[in-house]
Structure 1
Amino acid sequence: MTISTTRRIAGAVAMLAASTAMTGTAFAEAHGGVSFEGETVEFVIPFSESGGSARWANFFAPLLSEALPGNPTVVVRYRPGAGSTSGANWFQEQTTDDGTLIFGTSGSTQFPYLLGDPRVRYEYNDWQVVLVSGTGGVAYLPDELAGLMDGLDATGLQDTDFIWGSQGATRLDLVANLAWEMLGMNVEPVFGIEGRGDGRLMFERGEANIDYQTSSAYLRSVMPMVEAGMAVPMMTWGALDDDGNIVRDPTFPDIPTFAEVCEATPACETEGPAWDAWVAFFTAGFPAQKMIFLPGSTDQAIVDAYTDALNEIIARPDFAEMAETTLGDYPQMTGAAAQAAFRLGTQVDDSAREFVINWLEESYGVTLD
C-alpha cells in the first residue's frame, strides 16, 4: 500500500467520523437533545423467560433499538419472584433515570397493588408510563377432557378434579380461578410458579390438566399443542367493545368467551357480586395488561423520546402483521391513550375489591393484612 493510498484512507475515515458526529448531534437535537448512542438499555420484566411477558418484551426490544435516538442496544432482563412483586419492589428503589432502564409490568403486578397486598412496596403513580399493551387469555384442556363439555355448557367438567400451575392467589391468575369456581369446577391451583410459561410446562408434562395463557404465549407455545391434538381451547376471557361490553377476542374470534360459557352453564351467573367482581378484575388485568414504565424522576425529554419511538414503531407499515403473529390483535397505546389505560388497569371498584378479598380468604385461606 502506498503512502498516498494510506493518506486517502485515513482522510476518508476522518471525514466519516466527522460526518457521523455531526449526524449524531443533529439527531439528538431533533429529539430534544436526547441520544442513547453507545448505550445499553435494560428492559426488565419481573417474570421468567418462558411466558407471555418475555415474548412481549422480546418483541419490542429490537424495535426500540431501531427507533430510539442513537440506536442503543436494548436487552431484556428477567427478575422473577413472588409472582412479579419482587421485581416491582426492586424497580421502585431504582434511581437510574437517564432512560437506560425501563420496566415492564403485567396484570400479575397490578393485582397485588389493587388488593393492597402487604408485600407490595411499589407505587404505580411514582412511575411514568410510555406504553400500554392490551392482550387476551385462553383457557385450554387436554383433548380427553374437552369432550366432557356439552357445547358451551361446562357442567360435564364439574366431576373432574383439575390441577393447574398458578403464580399466586392475588395475581392475574385470580381471573381464571374465579371463573372456574363460578362454573362449578373443582380446580386446585399449585401456587408459586414464576411465570405462566411454567404453568404451561406443567400441562405439557402431564402434571396439570387445565391451564390458560395470555395471547402471545398461547399463539407461540399452545397453538402447536392444539394442532398436534394435545390441547383443546375451552374459552377466552374475551375483549371489551367501545361500550365496555365483553365480546369475542379479536385474535381468537372462533373461541367462545367466558361470558358465553357462563351463560350456557346453569351453575354460573352473569349478574350479581361474583360476576361484577370478575368483570372488574378482568378489565383491570387484560385490556391494560402489559405496560412499559420509566422511573418517575426521568426527564420529560427522555419520556418524550420513548413516546416518539413507540409511536414510530406502531406506525410502521409492517407492525400490524408482526404483532398479529406475535402479540395478537390488540391496541398498543401511548400518550393520552396510555394514561387512560393506565388508570383503567390500576383502579378497581371498592365493592369488587372487597368481594375478591373475602373470596380469597374463603377459597384459599389468603388474608391481606
Structure 2
Amino acid sequence: MMKQLIAATSAALALAGPAAAQQDYEGETVRVIINLSAGGSTGVMAQNFANHWKEHIAGNPDFVIQPVTGGGQMKGIIEARNARPDGLTVAWVAWSGPTRAIGPASQNVDWSEFDVIAGMGVPSMAYGRRDIGDGISSAADLAGAEGVHIGGYRPGSYLDLTARMSLDILGIEYGYTTGFRGGSNIVAALQRDEVNFHVTPAANYFGGIEANVVEEGTGLPLWYYPLTDADGTIVAEDSFGDIPTFTEVAEEITGEAPSGPAWDAVQWLNEGMAGVTWFIGVPAGTDPETLELLRTSFEETYNDPAFREEARKVSGMAPTYTPAADMEALIASLRDIDAEISQTVLDYIESGTQ
C-alpha cells in the first residue's frame, strides 16, 4: 500500500531552463489555479490558505485564486503546467492521482511536469436528502430504500467511485448523474431534488452544506471515511461528532464488517486520495531557491495557528499536510498499483460512462 513506501523520489523534471530566483515578492501577484469552481471546498481552502500564505513570504505578495474548470478537471492542471516557471503561478488542484494513473489516457497526468510544494487533504463523507425513498432519518434507513441517485463529478473521480462502491457494498441500488463541475453545483442540484446523494470532502460539508442543506431540513449526514496513520490507526477527528464511520454503517446494515474487492478499493482510494485531496505545485523548472522558499513558507503557513483557526471556522477542520518528499514518494507509488484494485477501479470507471 502507499503508506508502506519508504523511499522518496524526485518529481521534478525541468522542461525549460530554470527561471530567476524569486526571493522577494514585493509588488508581485501570485496566481493560484484551481481546477474546480470557486465555491467548493477546493476554492474555499485555497483562498483561506492564501490569505495567510502571503504573510510568510518576503514582500507579502497578493494572491489571486483563478478557477479553470472543464475537461474532467484537466483544464486547470494543463493551465498550471504550461505557465512560466517563475514562482508566480501555483497549481492547487484536485489530485485524484491514483485514479488518473489507471484511468483513461485523456485523464492521465505526468506529475513530473510539476515541482512539488505539498499535498493537503480532508476526510470525505456522505450525505443525502431526507426524502430518499419513503424518508430517512439515519444511514441505516437507506437499506431497501428506492430512488437513491448520486450526483458526481466524473466516473474517474475518487469521490464518485467511493460513493458507488459504498452503495454496492451496502446492497443499495442507485442511479448516477455525473459531469458537475464543482461541489457547489452538486449541492444546488441536490437542493432542487435532481440528485439526492453525494460523497464530498468534509471541508465542503462543514463549510456550507451543513448550514444550507442539513440545518434547514433538506438533508442529513450519513457517514464519513476516517483517515489512518502509518500504522493503520484511525486518526481521531472530533469534527464529526456523532456521525458514524462507513464501517459502522456497513456493520449495522449488512451485519458484518465490509470486505471484498470493492472495499479494498474504497480503502485504497481513501488512503491515497482523501489524505491528499489537493496537489500543490509549480511548473517544473522553477528555480530551486524559489521552490524551497515556497515549500518552507507553505509549511510555516500550515502550522500558523491563525490559518488553522480560520480553517476550522470556515471548513470545520484543519486539513492534513503531506510534505514534498512524501508527495514525491506517493507519485512514485503510482507505478506499482495492486492489480486487483486497479481492475476493480477500472471496471467502475468504465461502467460509470455507460
Using structure 2 for the length normalisation, give the TM-score.
0.84
Aligned counterpart for 1:198 among listed residues 174, 185, 198: 185
Q: Assess if the C-alpha contact under 8 Å between 1:219 and 1:325 holds in 2.
A: no
Match for residue 18 of structure 2?
A: none
Match for residue 12 of structure 1?
A: none
Separation in structure 2 between the aligned mates of residue 209 and residue 319 of structure 1, nearest angstrom: 33
Distance 1:116 1:145, change over 3 A: closer
Match for residue 210 of structure 1?
A: 197
- The amino acid across from 2:123 in the alignment is G
Distance 1:146 1:104, change over 3 A: farther
Q: Assess if the C-alpha contact under 8 Å between 2:98 and 2:273 holds in 1.
A: yes
Aligned-residue offset at 1:177:
1.6
Separation in structure 2 between the aligned mates of residue 267 and residue 115 of structure 1, nearest angstrom: 33
Match for residue 323 of structure 2?
A: 334
Match for residue 11 of structure 1?
A: none
User: Structure 2, unaligned stretches of length 5 or more?
Assistant: 1-20
Aligned counterpart for 1:284 among listed residues 265, 272, 275: 272
Aligned-residue offset at 1:200:
0.9
2:190 alignment partner, SS class: helix
Aligned-residue offset at 1:343:
5.4
Match for residue 364 of structure 1?
A: 352
Aligned-residue offset at 1:106:
1.6
Separation in structure 1 between the aligned mates of residue 23 and residue 71 of structure 2, nearest angstrom: 35
Aligned-residue offset at 1:289:
1.3
Separation in structure 1 between the aligned mates of residue 83 and residue 123 of structure 2, nearest angstrom: 33
- The reply to whether residue 41 of structure 1 matches residue 27 of structure 2 is no
Match for residue 185 of structure 1?
A: 172
Q: Assess if the C-alpha contact under 8 Å between 1:146 and 1:234 holds in 2.
A: no
Aligned-residue offset at 1:360:
3.2
Separation in structure 1 between the aligned mates of residue 335 and residue 232 of structure 2, nearest angstrom: 17
Instruction: Quote the RMSD (CA, aligned, Å).
Output: 2.7
Aligned-residue offset at 1:95:
4.3
- The reply to whether residue 164 of structure 1 matches residue 136 of structure 2 is no
Distance 1:51 1:348, change over 3 A: farther
Match for residue 58 of structure 2?
A: 69
Aligned-residue offset at 1:307:
1.5
Indicate the percent of aligned positions where both proteins have the same amino acid: 23
Match for residue 208 of structure 2?
A: 221
Separation in structure 1 between the aligned mates of residue 216 and residue 107 of structure 2, nearest angstrom: 41
Aligned counterpart for 1:90 among listed residues 79, 101, 120: 79
1:240 alignment partner, SS class: coil
Separation in structure 2 between the aligned mates of residue 139 and residue 199 of structure 1, nearest angstrom: 13
Deviates more, 1:314-323 or 1:212-221: 314-323
Aligned-residue offset at 1:268:
7.4
Aligned-residue offset at 1:301:
0.5
Q: Assess if the C-alpha contact under 8 Å between 2:121 and 2:276 holds in 1.
A: yes
Q: How many aligned positions are there?
A: 331
1:356 alignment partner, SS class: helix
Deviates more, 1:234-243 or 1:70-79: 234-243
Q: Assess if the C-alpha contact under 8 Å between 1:193 and 1:199 holds in 2.
A: yes
Distance 1:58 1:150, change over 3 A: closer
- The reply to whether residue 57 of structure 1 matches residue 46 of structure 2 is yes
Aligned-residue offset at 1:323:
2.1
- The amino acid across from 1:167 in the alignment is Y
- The reply to whether residue 266 of structure 1 matches residue 251 of structure 2 is no
